[in-house]
Structure 1
Amino acid sequence: MQLIDSHCHLNFEGLAGRLPEVLDNMAENQVRQALAISVSRESFVEVLAIAEAHENIYASIGVHPDREDAAEFSTAEMVAHAQHPKIVGIGETGLDYHWCKGDLAWQHRRFAEHIEAANQSRLPLIVHTRDAADDTMAMLKENNAHAGVIHCFTENTRVAKMALDLGFYISFSGIVTFKNAPDIQAAAQYVPADRMLVETDAPFLAPVPKRGKSNEPAYVRHTAEFIAKLRGDSLENIAAATTENFYTLFNKVPKITASQAV
């Protein structure tokens, strides 16, 4: 059996200083690979260095939609960096109306540029959306986004259907294990097994029974176990499905062979 953490922040405080332990914990829990996500120009340098230093870690390039004054990448820069063998996705990017208010034209422009970079590079888009689901889906459709994932899904089945209809995958984080998340749990039952990913978003959002602690990639196993129980399925089947889905979407990542996964 193997699992993949499709979205984590290994360069963040709480993880960067203990990477050997974090990687050992991954191995103990059969989490064989992880995708370290860029949220800024500075973090891109950090996650790429981590990916280059560790065979089972990959990275993305992108600037998060939470700060208007953030230093940005041009579309051309993202497309150029996407040629690196360890860069396998564009983002995280998207729309955030929770933390950002007022005239958000800058956020829409940044999102559109990331979509274009993903389309040109043919890498999948890693989408963040908060309190902005309808506009997010509209922009993906209007800009002909070719492929990607709605990360850390916090919406309902209506939004899940919209994303699936656009050809996107849905990634569930530890939030799905929380008692106050019935809509997300309903979505986790609704999403087809061949369109689902699992993630930690570490060091945030640790799943039950680790809630309240600093999250890490090893804990994605708890999320997969919860989803399996929710769907009346086995952990092995959910692990196999989400792993295969990751390789289908992030198709630059080489598959771990059966012998390596034992």
Structure 2
Amino acid sequence: MTHTGSPAPIVDSHCHLDFPDFDGEHDDLIARARAAGVTRMVTICTKLRLEPQVRALADRFDGVFYAAGTHPMSVADEPMATVEELVALAGHPKFVGIGETGLDYHYTADSARAQQDSLRIHIEAARRTRLPLIIHARNADDDMARILSEEYRAGAYSCVMHCFTSGADLARAALDLGFYLSMSGIAAFPRSTELREIFAAAPRDRILIETDSPFLAPPPHRGKRNEPAYVAKTARVGADLFGMNDAEFARLTSDNFDRLFWKAAGATA
């Protein structure tokens, strides 16, 4: 597989620019991303009380958009979101998605019922706004597939399974509903063979790319702080997986992003 010399325009569909890991570095961080070909990124708010500072980052930088919700691991400690609250946020021109929300039974299984209630609230907000739902799923494949399917039958909505690392059954359930799978740095880890096979079997028009920075840096940065510029490292793995060159895979995932995150479509840095 050949790779292009100059960086192809690419989108980081999920990062956390407001996290303290990046304090005081935003200008340099964005500059490095631009140099790596990252023209757009979506920074994700995980606690609604922090929405103003995430919104401020999106307002400050061209090509930076944002989404907001209550992360499942925070549901027990944060006020329960309301549909009306989430719908109101969607009025901002750079607010492009609902979440991240979802289920995490790895660390926070004690709050499973509250997480499920929160997830359903976010789904209803996604329905009403027509904005994509951004899902975090860990150790909860059966409940996740069940709730997503039940809710879809009650009314259609769009969705991305962010940083997808779950099993083939949940991937199939999500894809059958027309949802998207997002590839993070984990897909580039040497031992992630089964995960790469899940992505390789998915429809090409349903793949997104992300960093989830500051977490999950792909090789050769594994174990260090991740940042949006590194999305190109994961994209190179995706390009090889689909038998494409860098520019082709970047264009594919950017087109997929535009289709799902329609409020950010056509924007440039």
Q: TM-score, normalised by structure 1?
A: 0.95
Deviations 1:64-102 (A, max 9, x none): 000312133311010111111110000000011101123
- Counterpart position of 1:114: 122
- Counterpart position of 2:148: 140
How has the CA–CA distance of structure 1 residues 64 and 11 changed in structure 2, closer, same or farther, with 3 Å as cutoff?
same
- Counterpart position of 1:94: 102
Deviations 1:40-72 (A, max 9, x none): 023322211100111210000201000312133
Offset at residue 103 of structure 1 (A): 5.5
Between stretches 136-145 and 116-125, larger displacement belongs to 136-145
- Counterpart position of 2:43: 36
- Counterpart position of 2:224: 213
Amino acid at match of 2:263: K
- Counterpart position of 1:79: 87
Between stretches 226-235 and 170-179, larger displacement belongs to 226-235
1:1-262 matched pairs, under 5 angstroms: 1-67=8-74, 68-102=76-110, 104-144=112-152, 145-256=156-267
- What is the DSSP-based 3-state SS (H/G/I as helix, E as strand, rest coil) of the residue aligned with 1:92? strand
Report the Cα distance in structure 2 between the residues aligned to 1:226 and 1:101, rounded to whole angstroms: 33
User: Does the aligned pair in 2 maintain the 1:156–1:186 contact within 8 Å?
Assistant: no
- Counterpart position of 2:3: none
- Counterpart position of 2:5: none
Deviations 1:125-154 (A, max 9, x none): 000000011211211111125101000000
User: Does the aligned pair in 1 maintain the 2:185–2:211 contact within 8 Å?
Assistant: yes
Amino acid at match of 1:52: D
- What is the DSSP-based 3-state SS (H/G/I as helix, E as strand, rest coil) of the residue aligned with 1:66? helix
Report the Cα distance in structure 2 between the residues aligned to 1:205 and 1:197, rounded to whole angstroms: 16
User: Does the aligned pair in 2 maintain the 1:40–1:71 contact within 8 Å?
Assistant: no
Report the Cα distance in structure 2 between the residues aligned to 1:16 and 1:228, rounded to whole angstroms: 32
How has the CA–CA distance of structure 1 residues 27 and 132 changed in structure 2, closer, same or farther, with 3 Å as cutoff?
same
Between stretches 212-221 and 94-103, larger displacement belongs to 94-103
User: Does the aligned pair in 1 maintain the 2:101–2:134 contact within 8 Å?
Assistant: yes
Between stretches 4-13 and 142-151, larger displacement belongs to 142-151
Report the Cα distance in structure 1 between the residues aligned to 2:80 and 2:54, rounded to whole angstroms: 16
Report the Cα distance in structure 2 between the residues aligned to 1:135 and 1:117, rounded to whole angstroms: 20
Between stretches 119-128 and 156-165, larger displacement belongs to 156-165
Point out where structure 2 has 5 or more consecutive residues left out of the alignment.
1-7
Amino acid at match of 1:49: A
